[in-house]
Each structure stands twice: as C-alpha cells, then as structure tokens.
Amino acid sequence: SACLSVASSDFCECLLQYENVWEKANIEIETDIAEDVKVKADAELLGHVWNNLFSNAFKFTPSGGTVTVSLTATDHHAIVKVTDTGCGITPEVGAHMFEKFYQGDTSHSVQGNGLGLALVKRVIDIMQGEIGVESAVGKGSTFTVRIRRA
C-alpha cells in the first residue's frame, strides 16, 4: 500500500519520540531537517526505518555524546543521515549487521532482537532505495538512506 507521505513531518514526529531518551542519556542532538520533502512510501514501514536508526544511535552513544540527524533533498532523492559519536562498527560487524538476528554487540541484546537492521534493509530495498554506513571504531557511525522523492 504505497501512499504519498510527507517525509519531513513524519520524520520529525518520529525523532521527537526520543526526546526523553536523549535527555535522560545526556546526549546532545543536532538536526538539519528540510521541510516538505515527500517520498512515495508506506508511512508505517518508513517509520520502522527511522525508529531503528534513531534507537540504535541513542543505544550505542555514551552519555555526553552527540547524535546528528539530517534530512536533505536533491532533485530526485531524499537523503537521511543519522550520525552518532558511539562505539563505531568494526568491519566484521559491518559485514553482518544487515542480516536477520545478528547482534554484534550482545551487551545490549536485551534492547532489541537483531532484526532491526535486517528489516530496515528489506524496507529500503522494496522502495528501491539505498542504505549505507560509514564508521570509525571508537569514534562513531553514520547511516545514510537515499530514497526517491515523490
């Protein structure tokens, strides 16, 4: 059920649901969110994508860290970046983390089931979008999602 959804407002709403999380964890938040960017997507499925990326960013960032979230638009694409100053991702974890039930960091296994990023990847694939990650161990990670604009 692909419906037209306004990415920007749904996106902001989704992020704001984490306000108590970042406040409690003493994580600074920086945002750069373009207005009225529309993508052709199922709003609920897309919500799962943002929720997973946001919850991981806050989960893997220690107190005093920063999470930076941006939504920008090019002529044909909406681009979302979620950057954290967390533990980072080793090449080994990076190679498997989009697989079902994989958890690179089992110390956080109570919060999550390793399905998150596998579902995220599946949803983005269905939308014919792209997801990638850049990371430096001990410094942090950036997840980038690219989806076609409506």
Compose the 11-50 pattern: x for residues touching ligand ADP by CB under 6 A, - for all others. Answer: ----------------------------------------
Interatomic CA distance for residues 120 and 41, integer angstroms: 13
Residue 56 makes contact with ligand ADP by CB under 6 A: yes
Interatomic CA distance for residues 75 and 77, integer angstroms: 6
What tokens appear for 109 in the block? 């296994």
**Site residue total, ligand ADP (CB under 6 A):** 22
Residue 8 makes contact with ligand ADP by CB under 6 A: no
Residue 87 makes contact with ligand ADP by CB under 6 A: yes
Q: Which of 14, 46, 49, 97 binds ligand ADP (CB under 6 A)?
A: 97
Cα 113 to the center of its chain, rounded Å: 16
| DSSP labels, 12-29 | HHHHHTTHHHHHHTT-EE
Estimate the crossing angle of helix 7-16 against helix 43-59, to 10 degrees. Answer: 40
Compose the 103-142 pattern: x for residues touching ligand ADP by CB under 6 A, - for all others. Answer: xxx--x---xxx-xxx----------------------x-
